[in-house]
Amino acid sequence: MLTRNLLPRSAVAVVLALAVGASTTPANASTPGPADLRRVVESLSGPDGAPGALVRVHGRHGSLTATGGVADTRTNTPVDPRSRFRIGSLTKPFVATVVLQLVGEGRIELDAPVERYLPGVVRGADNDGRQITVRQLLQHTSGLPDVLDYLSPLDVLKDPLRHWEARELVDIALPHPREFEPGKGWGYSNTNYLLAGMIIDTVTGRPWGEEIRERVIRPLGLHDTFAPTDAPGIPGPHPRGYVRPQSELVDVTRLNPTVGGAAGGMISSAADLNRFLAAVLRGRLLEPALLREMLATRPTGRTSGSEYGLGLEWIPVENSSTCKDGFWGHDGDMLGFSVRTGATTHGRQATVMVNLNPGGGPALDEAMKAALPDALCGR
């Protein structure tokens, strides 16, 4: 399924021609077009893929949305291009933005120890909040163990509607050894952002989700974006979310999002994610000095050659005139959904979503790895 909006009249003609199977090549072959997006969703929702997929690209001339597969395996309802879905770790750029706003207001210091804001919370055999800074939480250089190494999807599926406190999740991780000394390495850890959310709560006196709503969601008019409460449903049009613990799909759409919290509990849409990422990179949410802090990266050691700032990752891309040398983005995985979003520095954004996580298998993993660069940069 392919939709379009805000396109010049000449582009609409191209979309309609492609929809009926005409062979047309975009004027700039490196710029992704309807055929590129259709190819991406087919790779994601084919026989070895997810039940359904959605890809949305926004550029200077408007937006294109492509969908494939089904939103519901029981009814075979197609994926709605306006779909909302759980965004998992794409919650982290929202949290990092609010922390940096509080830095700008003088209420948080980036290089202050976590202990200043959360006395006695980060204590363990070798995990000490007096040695770890707020910056290290946001950049994943704290060395703290990841709670998801000790809380598996199967553990959550035993009681998907259970409420989780952030401190409870942190306390699952902290008894375990740190990965490295603070500041001496890079290691992705959801524990870091659970703590960042707790710092927002402490400094402002309000839940981190309310701060995101007031500071980001409302100013940008993100009508499909929600910070978590205990509500297990996804309001508005949405695909069902699935996991595949064995051979059969299991519907996990109804889930208490507190299990993700500030590390991964939010809901949004492709249009809203694209709008948010564009606003961040254009400086609408952060003063220039704070945006420079966010975009100051260090290598992750991943095979992609990516580098991580404060809540955003720089992903290099070779041989692309559309993306030049790379783009900014983030991954987001939550039970039932897998999401990728990215933006170039010259005004193009893309979001990719499938309604299966985990259990998609190697073929879907490879398709997801390629989907965002293909949608954003073209082939």
The CA-atom distances, in angstroms, between 370 and each of 41, 48, 65, 105, 222 are: 11, 15, 17, 39, 27
Q: Is 212 helix (H, G, I), strand (E, B) or coil?
A: helix
Q: How far apart are CA 137 and CA 139, in angstroms?
A: 6
The residue annotated as part of the active site, out of 83, 89, 268, 338, is 89
**160 touches 242 (CB < 8 A):** no
Q: Measuring CA to CA, which residue among 27, 28, 53, 26 is closest to residue 39?
A: 53
The CA-atom distances, in angstroms, between 118 and each of 76, 79, 202 are: 48, 43, 8
Find tokens 């929702």 and name the residue.
45
Find tokens 């190697």 and name the residue.
362
Which value, in Å, is the radius of gyration of the alpha carbons in the chain? 20
Burial of 211: CB neighbours in 10 Å, binned 0-12, 13-18, 19+? buried
The CA-atom distances, in angstroms, between 372 and each of 41, 123, 268 are: 11, 39, 17
**376 touches 328 (CB < 8 A):** no
Find tokens 């005139």 and name the residue.
321
Catalytic: 89?
yes
Strand partners, 361: none
Query: H or E stretch including 122?
Result: none
- Residues designated as active site: 89
